[in-house]
Amino acid sequence: MSQALDQVKTEARRLLSEGLVDVFVGYKAADIPMHPQPAFISKADEADALVYDGFCANNLATYLPQLTRSTKIGMVVRGCEARAVNILALENQHSRENLFLVGVPCTGVLDWRKLTARFGENVSAAVDEGDTLQVTVDGKTQQLPRAEALHASCQRCQHPNPTWADLMIGEPLPEGDPERVWAQADEQIGKTKAERYAWFAHEAERCIRCYACREACPMCYCAECFVDHITPRWTESTTSPAGQHAWHITRAFHQTGRCVDCGACERACPMDIKMTYLTDKLNQDMQVKYGFVAGMDIETQAPFATFSLDDKDRFVE
């Protein structure tokens, strides 16, 4: 991905100087090691400050609902981000005509917490060199294979290639192995109900209701989230098991047929909560029972968003 940087800059410069976009969304250099910041540039010369590597790990599509529909937006996108953009366009959050996507086939984003867990908090620099990472701690630089720092979602990614890009930088990568994708969901299904619930409760217990998962997720764009609805109050806002469980379960279900498994939610969570196993199972159900994968094109509605006469209705039997 870091090899794509020069081309990303060139494209951003071109799009802005030719007036093809009003704003280009990418990343800029970090104030903090391993934490580049999403950047919104509106002048061609600002493109020089762009960066792009495995530490650029947010899902930029989450910013789209904040920008007006009439804004012409350029954005650099990985596979999952492009799928998220598709869904946003499908759900009428943005118009296709005003989006210019620069696609980068993705070799996976990096989980900075894997690096601090391994090397300690004082990682002063980490450079993504494609196959290896150069990590500097207390003045000494060490190397490790990039694969060892991949975020969990990327390890099971099935669709690294942007399904929609106006320009693709780099050659497409092989699509993922479906068997690998479902490992996390299958592991949960293999447990007894009691074990599954114990795992769920164990993870949810740490939740501090900061809603970083919600804000990092491009599919969570509701003007009023269900937890904020107070007439009547549907969910306990208290950090009680009732409140935490309701939050996690309901948010996962609201993702049914929409989650692109980018893992931005897990990366955002300050309490290291594992939550993608919930959406993994929902995604698995969508694919196995309905043959549907979210965001692969801009036409196909999610199964739960449509109705047709030959829908399966086994639950009515």
Partner 1 sequence: MAYILEKKNLSNFLTALAPEYQVFAPVKRGEYTQFEALTANEELALDDAHNTRVPPKALFLPMSETLMSYRPNGRAEMAALAEEKRVVFGMRPCDAQAVALLDTVFEAEDYNDPYWRQRRDNTLVFGLGCNQPCASCFCNSVESGPFSTLGQEVTLTDLGDAYYLQLNETKAEGLLEGLPKASPQQESEAQAIQKQAAESMPAPFKTAEVKAELDTNFNSAFWSEVSAACLGCGICTFLCPTCFCFDIVDEVQRSERVRNWDTCMFRVYSHETSGHNPRPTKRERTRQRVMHKFSYWLDHADQIGCTGCGRCVRYCPVGIDIRAIVRKAADLPLEVAHAG
Partner 2 sequence: MLVSQSNPYIPMPMRVLRSYAESADGTLRTLELGFENKADHQRFFDSFVPGQFCTLSVFGKGESALGVANAAWEGDFVRFTIQRLGTVTQALHKLQPGDSVGMRGPLGNGFPIEAWKGKNLVIIGGGCAFTTLFSLIKHVQHPKLRQDYGEIVVVYGTRNSGMCMYKPELESWHEMHDMEVHQAIDVAEAGWAHHVGYVPDVVKQVSPNPENAVAVVCGPPIMTRYTLPALVEIGFPPEDVFTSMEKRMKCGIGKCGRCNIGPKYICKDGPVFSLAELQALPADV
The contact set with partner 1 (CB under 8 A) reads 30-33, 35-40, 58, 62, 113, 117, 120-122, 124, 206, 208-212, 214-216, 224, 228, 230, 233, 236-240, 242, 264, 267-268, 270-272
Count of C-beta atoms within a 10 Å radius of residue 273: 21
Instruction: Give the binding range for partner 2 (CB under 8 A) out of 92-100, 162-170, 199-207, 230-238.
Output: 230-238
The residue (of 96 and 233) whose beta carbon lies closer to partner 2 is: 233
Q: Which does 92 bind (CB under 5 to 8 A by kind): partner 1, partner 2, none?
A: none
- String of DSSP letters for 182-221: THHHHHHHTS-HHHHHHHHHHHHTT-----HHHHH-TT--
Which of 230/316 has CB closer to partner 2?
Answer: 230
Nearer to partner 1, 58 or 279 (CB): 58
Q: How far apart are CA 247 and CA 278, in angstroms?
A: 12
At 210, phi and psi to the nearest 5?
Answer: -80, -15
Residue 238 CB contacts under 8 Å (≥ 6 apart), including other chains: none
Q: Which of 32, 230, 309, 316 binds partner 2 (CB under 8 A)?
A: 230
**Minimum separation from the CB atom of position 158 to partner 1 (A):** 24
In degrees, rounded to 5, the angle at the alpha carbon of residue 244 between the alpha carbons of residues 242 and 250 is 95
Q: How far is the CB of 152 from partner 1 (least distance, A)?
A: 13
Contacting residue, 66, 70, 192, 231, with partner 2 by CB under 8 A = 231
Joined tokens for residue 145: 């294979």
Nearer of residues 232 and 270 to partner 2, judged by Cβ:
232
Where would I find the H helices in 91-157? 112-119, 152-155
Residue numbers of the site for partner 2 (CB under 8 A)?
Answer: 230-232
